[in-house]
Amino acid sequence: AKKVFHACDLARESQTPVFIYGASQVGKTEALKQYCLENNHGRTVLVELEAVNGLRGLLQAVAEKLGISPNANTPDLINRIKKAVTSDMVIILDEVHLLANVYRKGSFFACMETVRRVFIDHAKCGLVLTFTHLGFKKAEDEKKRELEQIFRRGVHRINLGDRPTVSDVSAIAAAWGLELPARSEEIVIKFAKGELREKPMEMLGQLSREQGLKAIVERLRYGSKLAAGKGTDLTWEDVIMGNALINKNATAPDHGWAN
């Protein structure tokens, strides 16, 4: 979140595009939402691009966030946005790589070129563009062709890494009242028909690497639910049980027809 805040501040100060990229589920969007809450006053606009389709869809999404009517053709939308955006603003386009997921390849380049002309060349405002690692690499591969102009203007690039950091997970665990255990610590949960052995740090490391923060937070939530059912405080034993139950739910049942 600190790196995301720094990226947005750089965009505001330099009035240039700043690229943020990192793995999915490392907290990019949540940090951007918080930045807007703390630095808004109508000057910071976050546009999430999950359901956008093509250039007109992009412009309509931006128009709605700016509080202007999205009901217009493409040239009119561009003119309305130009009038609404000022140089002291920061426009954040989240998940830009999704603009490439359209049936026509040229649509992505049209979107990026329009973003450059409207926000960089005309408004000269701060601009933040977020990507996943893979999405950013694909965009960079086009840098020497269609996207050269916008990439040359983007001096600042913030790499959030390929997974949540230990300090990220530690801070989130602390919010649930837990301290990270030692890496070698193993927890054993005994049952009538066996036992469950798990090293919490290994479990968290695997979740960080393969799934991201959402998976970790859900284990904490599930463990908290189990602890509440027992009338106890949350422990790593509860989190491990939550993890085991989530994994069990993803396992196909024995259909019985082979017997």
Average pLDDT (48-68) is 87
pLDDT of residue 142: 65
| Interval 234-257 mean pLDDT | 93
At residue 82 the predicted structure's pLDDT band, cuts being 50, 70 and 90, is very high
Question: Rounded to 10 degrees, what is the CA torsion of 136, 140, 145, 149?
Answer: 80
Q: What is the pLDDT of residue 122?
A: 93
Q: Tens of pLDDT along 187-211?
A: 999 988 889 999 999 999 999 999 9
Distance, CA of 175 to CA of 24 (rounded, Å) = 22
Judge whether residue 146 has pLDDT over 90. Answer: no
Give the pLDDT score at 183.
94
Q: How much is the pLDDT for 123?
A: 93
Say which residue, 53 or 93, is predicted with more confidence. 93
Using alpha carbons, list the distances in angstroms from residue 64 to 25, 68, 216, 223.
26, 6, 33, 39
Mean pLDDT confidence for 157-167? 93
Q: Which two tokens stand for residue 165?
A: 């950091």
Q: Is pLDDT above 70 for 180?
A: yes
Pairing of strands 44-48, 194-198: unpaired
Strand order in the sheet with 126-132: 44-48, 90-94, 126-132, 17-22, 156-159
* Over residues 137-160, mean pLDDT: 75
Query: Please, are residues 220 and 176 in contact by the beta-carbon 8 Å criterion?
Result: yes
pLDDT band at 54 (very low <50, low <70, confident <90, very high): confident
